Structure 1
Amino acid sequence: MTKTIYLHVGPHKTGTTVIQKACLDNTDVLDKHGVSFPSLYFTPIGHHDLVNTVRRRAISDEDLATLASGHEKALLSSENFIHFSAQDWKYLSERLAQFEVKIIYAWRRSSLKMYSMWQESVKHGGTTPFHAFFYQDLIRPGESKSLMQTLNLDAMAAAFGKDNIHILDFDALSESKMLVSEFFNLLGVDGTQIDISGQSQGFRNESMDPVTTEVLRCLNSLSVKAGYPQNSKTREVFSALQPTLDAEMEQAKSLMENDVDTFEVGDYFVDRATEHALKSKFMTNLVHYKAQKRTKNIKVANQDWLLKPQAYQLISAMHEKIMKNY
């Protein structure tokens, strides 16, 4: 019987970390259902090394032999798979030709995930303000892979076949608290047996409040100006020091008190346009699709707070503390 490889491609901010941790916490359940979560290409907490391996065109015969061994199904999961080009997908399909390949993609309404994606960039060293972060996407939504998600799905379908793509309605499944169980059901695993009670232990990718996000963005800017690489190091040190920064964070909150804007997102033109495009091409691939107007409020600190003399002094003093522990 041909072995099946499931490629969980995320994308970012669609519960990928929760699902990956559920795989690690429930290997016994996966084993019982004949599904492996391989160590090959694995770096905490997903199969992120496969990305560079594909880009280097370096999937070896030994790698394929490892994937072919063991259970009749294997799951490879990384939200970074979403950054593959059409040529990357073609190469991957050619190297995995001996397997049946299924793709699992979680679709989240475009504007509902925009804030989360920006915040994720800040966590990894980003310095761009919210409104600038998506400027190019919003002026050309039809060319944006972040917003017009069919662009990525078309490339996957060309490589592996449209019928081999499963698209989870992230928003509907999150509302019903069925995202994790439905994901595992697609693998042939009884989702009701998956225990996620340990999700509070170890690695969690939690959202940040608007004040913390803005403070971190400013700290990232100072790190970049000081010549440090743009990565997550500033956040890691900042997070470790947060218990000692209560007074500074209270001051930042006070300084931003009148400079936090609220926006309602979820029913923009780009949401309706991209949802229409998805349904037109991939309606039969959608899992638990629920047509419903979904909106939420997001809060973003505007940069006017930086005009206050105390603001730069505060951020500079906090950055000095961070540099001493960098």
Structure 2
Amino acid sequence: MTQRKRLVLHIGSHKTATTFIQGSLVKNQDVLKSHGIIYPRAGQIYDAHFRLCWELRDPKFADLPLTEIGEWARLIEEIQSSPATTAIVSSEEFGLLIAPERLAPLRELFDIQVIYYLRSPDAHLESFYNQFVKDFGTRETRTINHYLAEERLGFLDTRTVLEPWVEVFGARQVSLRIFSRQTLPNGVLQDFLETVGVRQVQGLKSPDVSVLHKVSLPPDALEYLRYANQSLTREQGHHPFVVSLVQMAGKHGDELQTTRAGILSLKSRKTLRFRFADANRWAARTLLDSDRSPFPPRDVPAPPEDFDQRPETADAHVIGRVAALIQNYTSDVA
């Protein structure tokens, strides 16, 4: 009798090093294959399986079974024809934009494991906002407090996100991992591989530099870009520009800490944890066998010590200083 293969669906969440994990999986496919794992090429773009999600959102495929949808049909064939016993499919869009009922037929073909990394609401929001400022498609121009006041923040409602996956695949098939330095002492990639069942992996290659686009900018650099977003109208060149800004900030991070841009106050952090405590307690009870919320408000980390003395927004002096740092960095690497 042929052994059923396992399909691991890594569904997010956003801002939990998903891009780093995906880039690492692409870079280390030989290592994965030595452990009986493939990271399929079907449906892949930008190192993730976004095309699979895009097809599921396309109305013309709404009534078709997965086996009759282009990338999905190729994915199933690639997995079934591979000698590997496990396949990993990864896209954070699964966790927000896809109804898992569409994927229910996969249960007839594979043993399913769903992996989801959960970050504290306050850290998640700060990182998510930072990314919205950096991405060309969003080019956020509001301050983080303005953003917080106007948005519903549904992506922080863990129960709304995960309960449909539990209903379709069962709680035992959903692996919930807490994303924090305390819970991931060996790093998120090692934790991910161990969750899949691979232990003691040595010599892993780092992903390409393009993943730096996902690294959070320090306050003053973020504020520089937020102001620039009002005039950035050309998508071409935007990604490498942000990558170079992140690289510059990596060298001058201590000099870019004069504003509170992108940083929540202590009270805002606690309020966010209270706001989503019930949803996170449900996740802990359902998937971690615990009645304790993984993110108690009393444990919220404080903002920088000088937070109250920092201005919320940058003045011309700060913007000019960041511009000078960019120019100096560009000259150094030219």
Q: Do Structure 1 and Structure 2 share a fold, with TM-score over 0.5?
A: yes
Matched, 1:135 2:149: yes
Q: Which residue of 1 aligns with 2:38?
A: 36
Alignment root-mean-square deviation, CA: 3.9
Which of 96, 102, 105 pairs up with 1:91?
A: 102
Q: Which residue of 2 aligns with 1:203?
A: 211
1:106 alignment partner AA: Y
1:120 positional shift: 0.7
Q: Which residue of 2 aligns with 1:302?
A: 312
Structure having the larger proportion of residues in strand: 1
Which of 176, 180, 203 pairs up with 1:171?
A: 180
| Change over 3 Å in CA distance of 1:287–1:193 after alignment to 2 | farther
Q: Which residue of 2 aligns with 1:61?
A: 73
| Change over 3 Å in CA distance of 1:311–1:185 after alignment to 2 | closer
Following the alignment from structure 1 to structure 2, what is the Cα–Cα distance between the partners of residues 113 and 232?
Answer: 28
Following the alignment from structure 2 to structure 1, what is the Cα–Cα distance between the partners of residues 287 and 157?
Answer: 17
**1:95-127 CA distances to partner (integer Å, 9 max, x unpaired)?**
564222211000111011111101111111222
Q: Report which stretch shifted further, 5-14 or 204-213.
A: 204-213
Which of 102, 106, 111 pairs up with 2:117?
A: 106
The alignment's TM-score, normalised by the length of structure 2, stands at 0.73
Q: Report which stretch shifted further, 108-117 or 93-102.
A: 93-102
Runs of 5+ unmatched residues, structure 1: 319-326
The alignment's TM-score, normalised by the length of structure 1, stands at 0.75
Q: Which residue of 2 aligns with 1:115?
A: 126
1:165 positional shift: 0.5
1:159 positional shift: 2.5
Matched, 1:234 2:245: no
1:276 positional shift: 4.1
| Change over 3 Å in CA distance of 1:7–1:173 after alignment to 2 | farther
| Change over 3 Å in CA distance of 1:238–1:147 after alignment to 2 | closer
Following the alignment from structure 2 to structure 1, what is the Cα–Cα distance between the partners of residues 21 and 166?
Answer: 23
Following the alignment from structure 2 to structure 1, what is the Cα–Cα distance between the partners of residues 247 and 10?
Answer: 36
Contact 1:157 1:165 in 2 (8 A): yes
Following the alignment from structure 2 to structure 1, what is the Cα–Cα distance between the partners of residues 182 and 289?
Answer: 9
Contact 1:305 1:311 in 2 (8 A): yes
Matched, 1:25 2:31: no
| Change over 3 Å in CA distance of 1:50–1:96 after alignment to 2 | farther
1:304 positional shift: 6.1
Following the alignment from structure 2 to structure 1, what is the Cα–Cα distance between the partners of residues 315 and 126?
Answer: 20
| Change over 3 Å in CA distance of 1:34–1:242 after alignment to 2 | closer
Contact 1:112 1:265 in 2 (8 A): no
Contact 1:169 1:287 in 2 (8 A): no
1:203 positional shift: 3.5
Following the alignment from structure 1 to structure 2, what is the Cα–Cα distance between the partners of residues 101 and 159?
Answer: 11
| Change over 3 Å in CA distance of 1:82–1:301 after alignment to 2 | farther
1:242 positional shift: 9.1
Which of 219, 225, 236 pairs up with 2:228?
A: 219
Runs of 5+ unmatched residues, structure 2: 62-68, 327-334
Matched, 1:148 2:157: yes
Contact 2:220 2:259 in 1 (8 A): no
Q: Report which stretch shifted further, 107-116 or 61-70.
A: 61-70
Following the alignment from structure 1 to structure 2, what is the Cα–Cα distance between the partners of residues 280 and 132?
Answer: 29
Which of 285, 288, 302 pairs up with 1:286?
A: 288
Following the alignment from structure 2 to structure 1, what is the Cα–Cα distance between the partners of residues 125 and 219?
Answer: 14
| Change over 3 Å in CA distance of 1:52–1:243 after alignment to 2 | closer
